[in-house]
Structure 1
């Protein structure tokens, strides 16, 4: 059930990435509109995952998971029924709210059912299943776009959502570790508004690179509201949706910095690569989906092994090496040029990035969960997922200028982005080495 529910988010992201060029052409969408169709999902996930984890702890993890999947279904149905820019954006925002509820609670239910090395393997299996779903989705989405039209991609996750609800209601017992806890509505509202303004600011700036008055004003407003969010969380204390006391632990701080940087780099690559292959390298959506398939498949094969291994050897080594391997893979992507062979340019980069993420994903997830007290596992899960989505949100918001390019200029923009993303991933590995040194030494 946890695997089925959480796979919805992976499928949703993979499907739209291969459909973006066709959607841009048919809807006559601007680069900013493409960014918002992607970030309409990322924004509520980033802002509300924190609340989703704490709501599950307070009101029932199964209940919140079912509500989240139902919202995911409703948003997908709206996008499928009325495939226009406004309704797709609204539908994906609703799906983002649903994902913010289902993701942390699916993992918390899984975490509570296992312990020790078995927990590491279970988390690895959870990550693997999501990766495999993410592998099938772009190929299926590409085939649908090529043969039936991009409008039909929004129907694909709906049967999975219904199945997840049925399994959860019939097979999963309710878990309420902190009944009657405080719901941090003010924190959720300020986080959503602050991140939304930051995303708007970065999206506007990325298109022309000019810090005009509007960019400064909106950016300043976003930062001010995020500062207000932190003040609210400080005042609420342990009952906050993001208890700031969690960051008193060096390992927790390092793990979340690692997550933000690594997933920002990865999110940028996964948005730009299929877009580049379709727009400027002459790939069909089906071929682009097939080209990307090795990435999630390798993660799916490697994650279960790394989950158990990290329980035995400690997390510091894999969480240091993994991001460095990702950085190397991103640099290999500089060989992707006009007319370059898939086998000698695209595939080596994808395989190397995949290997780095396979080393990283399961140890990162299980270490985040074990770094806090059991009563905070839902909150810690929501926090780490929110941080990864925030990294993705920021990356997408910064890439509008590149999405506006075409032909040889798009390759040049892609290469510049790869260099920045590689440096970002390498810094993430260094942070893991620093932050987990004392933890693994104990």
Structure 2
């Protein structure tokens, strides 16, 4: 009777091996780091970073010139009057970031990024023809939808194309500060090789591939509940400074926003088959704490930014151009900050990098809150601006690395959406809270200084709260992945304190050639 040698495989074994190889290939075809040349990957990264620059410039326009635009439309720029100028774009951008990562996972991150860019272009042009304050703010809000589609999908494209995230998250985080050094963050030349002479859109198309969740579905019910709750809650707080909390629709909107958010959580947990925000993403012990830390940090940063500009323009008579010149140290400091953050990534745990960013925000708010009404720019405003420039890069880089290392490949867009939501939504929500405090303290008073100081002290308190949560609960999950393999849900990890948690990260896959 014939015998089977030890090296012979049965048809069943061969079929299993083939299936394993196909699964590995299917999970790593288009995003494998070696699938694109180094120069092409660098060019694509640069283009994606530039897309982020565009959406941030669009956002910053009404932050730097918000009080001036408000006066141009015939409205007062005092307490509670101009806050919608900086808040409208961030409001819709932060809310729609929640769903845009999922849209990218299903329809393709590249497609959603390009759609977001088109929306920014169309409504930015429409803004130039607005003749009233209300129409201008409304169109600004629509422009923010485009920004919400751009940001998380750009992050997802980078982290999937060039994992692990730490390689390019630092230069990505630096892109929201328009400066000459952006071109040097991902050096490449389109003309460096005849084979690479192509347009920007053509280069972006080279990383086009099947969506990471092509057969997935969009949870439109969950999206409507989640986005609706975020929009209404933020609207209440940013509208309250101008109309007051005694206005009936304010209370009604607040109650409705909380009801929608509760419904969103229940729907995502018990009903949705493919939720827009899978609640199991919060299973890692550190992730929930990370959410609060990032939200509080950017609420504090938004308050510091707006009241620094308002102080200079409203109390010291600075023009928009003078404000721009006074903001130059921020850009210079951010260049140093992003380089320092990149240098610290392999040398310091991400939660401590984030703590540095939050700590300087405490200092920045306190410097602004305690300065005299009339004082030379160099005494306290300059150090506040320079020190505050460290916060966005350090917090964003650290948060993205912690989030990306904690989730699977399919959840990269969701994680990017969540961090982006907290970043942008926090800026707008912080202005709503601070505006309410400012308005309540300056009722019947001509001098707004008391309200300014109270708002800045509140910003410092938010940063202190974020710092305490970071120290107590945020830890960096150890990640030894090399590239992306097949998704492995349910694995466990041990953080730096020895705490065991449930991770949704990706387990390294055995190479196809060594399948046994």
State the shift of 1:102 in Å. Answer: 0.9
Cα shift at 1:337: 2.3
Quickly say closer, same or farther: Cα 1:308–1:168, change in 2 above 3 A: farther
Pick from 36, 49, 53: which aligns with 1:3? 49
- Write the distance in 2 (CA, Å) between the matches of 1:322 and 1:22: 30
In the alignment, what sits opposite 2:115? Answer: 67
Q: Shift of the alpha carbon at 1:33?
A: 5.9
Change (3 A) 1:334 1:272: closer
Structure 2: runs of 5+ lacking an equivalent: 1-46, 183-198, 476-493, 499-516
Q: Cα deviation per residue 1:18-41 (whole Å; 9 max; x = unaligned)?
A: 212221211123565633333332
Q: What residue in structure 1 maps to residue 129 of structure 2?
A: 81
1:247 aligns with 2:285: no
> Which protein has the bigger helix share?
1
Q: 1:335 to 1:39 in 2, by over 3 A?
A: closer
Question: Which structure would you say has the larger RCO, counting Cα contacts within 8 Å and 6 or more residues apart?
Answer: 1
Asked if the contact 1:190/1:229 (under 8 Å) is kept, the reply is yes
SS in structure 1 at match of 2:333: helix
Q: What is the alpha-carbon distance in structure 2 between the residues aligned to residue 17 and residue 330 of structure 1?
A: 17
Q: State the Cα deviation string for residues 376-398 of structure 1 (Å, max 9, x = none).
A: 01110001111222212211223
String of CA shifts for 1:275-294, please: whole Å, max 9, x gaps.
Answer: 22111111111111111222
SS in 1 for 2:286: helix
Matching of residue 354 in structure 1 with residue 389 in structure 2: yes
Aligned partner (choices 431, 436, 440) of residue 474 of structure 2: 436
Distance 1:419 1:20, change over 3 A: same
Q: Which residue of 2 aligns with 1:171?
A: 204
* CA deviation after TM superposition for structure 1 residue 130, in Å: 1.9
Tell me how far 1:261 sits from its aligned partner: 0.2
Native 8 Å contact 2:52 2:175 kept in 1: no
429-438 or 217-226, larger mean C-alpha shift: 429-438
User: Could you tell me how far apart the structure 1 residues matched to 2:180 and 2:295 are?
Assistant: 20
Match in the other structure for 1:197: 232
Q: Which moved more, 1:69-78 or 1:427-436?
A: 427-436
Q: Distance in 2 between matches of 1:238 and 1:305?
A: 43
1:427 equivalent among 465, 469, 484? 465
1: CA distance between counterparts of 2:390 and 2:144?
28
1:229 maps to which residue? 264
CA contact (8 A) 2:237 2:433 kept: yes
> C-alpha distance in 2, partners of 1:198/1:187?
16
Q: Which residue of 1 aligns with 2:491?
A: none
1:41-120 aligned within 5 A? 41-116=89-164, 119-120=165-166
Pair 1:211–1:84, CA change in 2 (3 A): closer
* CA–CA distance in structure 2, aligned partners of residues 122 and 397 of structure 1: 33
Match of 1:145 in 2: none
Paired residues for 1:31-430 under 5 Å: 34-116=82-164, 119-133=165-179, 167-172=200-205, 173-175=207-209, 176-207=211-242, 210-211=245-246, 213-236=248-271, 239-400=274-435, 402=438, 409-430=447-468
Q: Is the 8 A contact 1:337 1:411 kept in 2?
A: no
Instruction: Write the distance in 1 (CA, Å) between the matches of 2:63 and 2:91.
Output: 16
- Quickly say closer, same or farther: Cα 1:90–1:204, change in 2 above 3 A: closer
1:308–1:252 CA distance, 2 compared to 1 (3 A): farther
Please provide the CA RMSD for this pair: 2.6
**Is the 2:66–2:85 Cα contact (8 Å) retained in structure 1?**
no
Aligned to 2:506: none
Q: Kindly tell me: are residues 308 and 135 of structure 1, through their superposed partners in 2, closer, same or farther at Cα, counting changes over 3 Å?
A: closer
Residue 121 (structure 1) shift: 4.0
1:229 deviates by: 1.6
| Alpha-carbon distance change, 67 to 358 in structure 1, aligned in 2, over 3 angstroms | closer
Q: Give the CA deviation at 1:407.
A: 9.7
Of the candidates 29, 42, 52, which is equivalent to residue 75 of structure 2? 29
**Other-structure match for 1:140:** none
Contact 1:320 1:433 in 2 (8 A): yes
Q: 1:204 to 1:105 in 2, by over 3 A?
A: closer
User: Rg: which structure is higher?
Assistant: 2
Q: What secondary structure does 2:178 align onto?
A: helix
Q: Give the whole-Å Cα distance in 2 for the aligned partners of 1:92 and 1:236.
A: 34
Distance 1:56 1:189 in 2: 17
Q: Aligned partners of 1:209 and 1:383: how far apart in 2? A: 30
> Equivalent residue for 2:8?
none
Kept in 2: contact 1:10–1:134 (CA 8 A)? no
- Distance of 2:131 and 2:310 partners within structure 1: 20
Over 3 Å counting, the alpha-carbon distance change for 1:236 and 1:370 in structure 2 is farther
**Using a 3 Å threshold, how does the CA distance of structure 1 residues 133 and 339 change in structure 2: closer, same or farther?**
same
In the other structure, the counterpart of 1:150 is none
Distance 1:11 1:22 in 2: 17
